[in-house]
């Protein structure tokens, strides 16, 4: 851990020497070589230390240092290599990882082929996200073929998620899909997708399922927007037939200059009958739950209903204040509590109210280049949680880009 802190501190001291602007560009036989990176430090406090466990409070720090090289060989070929050194926090060892390493070839004016290790995010990131909140993030090894013209694009990909950056160490998974984006007019965007997951898992039983769905979003008026997403799953999970439904709907409005209010409803089905040969629970893929289902990351998007009220206030041109209220409940009272951590959650029979979470955060920039993000969150446990322990969480994060 000490060596990791020294590495991050040294990187912070060296960063101003590298940064003459946002990046450093070298002359070379290729068109350009770009050097950049970022440093992040985050400290967190939880009380209790594990969600709803009754244990004592705990504080810990984490962070990363990242350095990348972008190489543009010609108008048709470019590449990127990015390394990261991560201190995960909570007493875990630091890790050095290849975060990205890909080659992109523009095969025609409308098509391109990307091969290597890369990040992905699609739509509103409820299905596939690079998970920017995580210090590790997510990455995939594979290939992506893209076709794009004005008003339309298609991505076809087949990958393997990188262990510790998307899936657990020791699990084996293949992940592929087709993602289409349309812009039929200036007011509405439409996305359609199909994702394939083949997962042996740590248990060896694994999944072989498909997720298909779509998004419709756009402007209701000049000051209001809407978004609706729906998805369904089929296939097999171990010895069970796979099923599951999910829907997310939201509307947001700017009620005054710099003040936005919104409301949303999110549902992911549960499975209340394990003996019928079917798993009807929606199983999330690589979602950005931290952004949608409470910043405390207590629940996953499975057997979950979430009514959320959102607000955003622009304090000035640089800083913003955000506040969300989540009202959580289970979709199927017999389906069990959808725990992000795997527990310890003990359910009260016949109850479906999981609790209410209030998230407040402020975000902005200091010193012209350091992003600061601070927040506090309070979770009041509902009647369905036997321990009935509430949870308080606070964090402070700084990130410097060079």
- pLDDT category, 23, cuts 50, 70, 90? low
β-strands 278-279, 240-242: how paired? Answer: parallel
pLDDT over 50 (residue 1)? no
- pLDDT category, 15, cuts 50, 70, 90? very low
Q: DSSP secondary structure string, 26-92?
A: E--SSSEEEEEEEEEEEEEEEESSSTTS-PPPEEEEEEEEEEEEEEE-SSSEEEEEEEEEEE-STTP
Percent of the chain with pLDDT over 90: 65
> What integer best gives the mean pLDDT of the chain?
87
94 in helix, strand or coil?
coil
pLDDT (average), residues 326-346 = 79
For position 27, what pLDDT does the model report? 53
- pLDDT category, 65, cuts 50, 70, 90? very high
For position 203, what pLDDT does the model report? 57
pLDDT over 80 (residue 139)? yes
Asked if the peptide bond before residue 91 counts as cis, ω within 30 degrees of 0, the response is no
For position 96, what pLDDT does the model report? 83
- What is the DSSP code (8-state) at residue 93? P
10 in helix, strand or coil?
helix
pLDDT (average), residues 128-156 = 95
Report the residue count for the chain: 402
Q: At 367, phi and psi to the nearest 5?
A: 55, 25
Q: At 219, phi and psi to the nearest 5?
A: -105, 130
* Domains, the chain, with CATH or none: 104-401 (2.40.160.100)
Q: DSSP secondary structure string, 344-374?
A: ---BPTT--EEEEEEEEEEEEEETTTEEEEE
Tokens representing 102? Answer: 């890909």
For position 30, what pLDDT does the model report? 76
pLDDT (average), residues 189-215 = 87
For position 202, what pLDDT does the model report? 55
Tokens representing 221? Answer: 């008026």
Q: At 369, phi and psi to the nearest 5?
A: -160, 5
């Amino acid at each position: 851990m000490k060596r990791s802190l020294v590495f991050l501190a040294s990187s912070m001291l060296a960063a101003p020497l590298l940064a003459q602007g946002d990046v450093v560009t070298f002359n070379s036989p290729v068109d350009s070589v770009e050097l950049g990176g970022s440093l992040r430090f985050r400290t967190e406090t939880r009380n209790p230390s594990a969600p709803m466990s009754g244990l004592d409070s705990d504080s810990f720090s984490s962070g990363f240092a990242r350095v990348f090289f972008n190489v543009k060989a010609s108008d048709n070929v470019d590449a990127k290599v990015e390394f990261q050194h991560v201190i995960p926090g909570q007493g875990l060892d630091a890790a050095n990882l290849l975060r990205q390493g890909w080659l992109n070839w523009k095969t025609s004016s409308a098509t391109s082929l990307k091969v290597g290790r890369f990040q992905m995010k699609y739509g509103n990131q409820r299905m596939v996200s690079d998970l920017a909140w995580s210090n590790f993030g997510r990455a995939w090894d594979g290939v992506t073929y893209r076709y794009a013209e004005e008003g339309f694009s298609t991505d076809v990909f087949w990958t393997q998620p990188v262990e510790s950056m998307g899936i657990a160490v020791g699990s084996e998974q293949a992940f592929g899909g087709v993602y289409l984006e349309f812009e039929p007019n200036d007011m509405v965007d439409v996305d359609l997708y199909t994702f394939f997951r083949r997962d042996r898992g740590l248990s060896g039983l694994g999944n072989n399922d498909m997720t298909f769905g779509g998004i419709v979003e756009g402007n209701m008026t000049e000051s209001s927007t809407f978004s609706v997403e729906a998805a369904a799953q089929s296939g097999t999970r171990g010895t069970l037939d796979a099923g599951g439904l999910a829907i997310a709907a939201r509307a947001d409005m700017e009620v005054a200059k710099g003040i936005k209010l919104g409301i949303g409803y999110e549902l992911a089905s549960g499975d209340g009958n394990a003996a019928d040969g079917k798993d009807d629970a929606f199983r999330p893929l690589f979602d950005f739950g931290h952004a949608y289902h409470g910043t405390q990351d207590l629940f996953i998007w499975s057997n979950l209903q979430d009514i959320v009220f959102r607000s955003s206030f622009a304090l000035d041109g640089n800083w913003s204040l955000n506040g969300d209220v989540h009202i959580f409940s289970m979709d199927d009272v017999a389906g069990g509590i959808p725990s992000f951590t795997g527990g310890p959650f003990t359910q009260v029979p016949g109850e479906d109210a999981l609790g209410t979470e209030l998230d407040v955060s402020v975000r902005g920039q200091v010193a012209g280049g350091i992003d600061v993000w601070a927040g506090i969150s309070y979770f009041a446990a509902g009647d369905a949680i036997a321990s009935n322990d509430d949870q308080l969480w606070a964090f402070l994060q700084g990130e410097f880009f060079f």
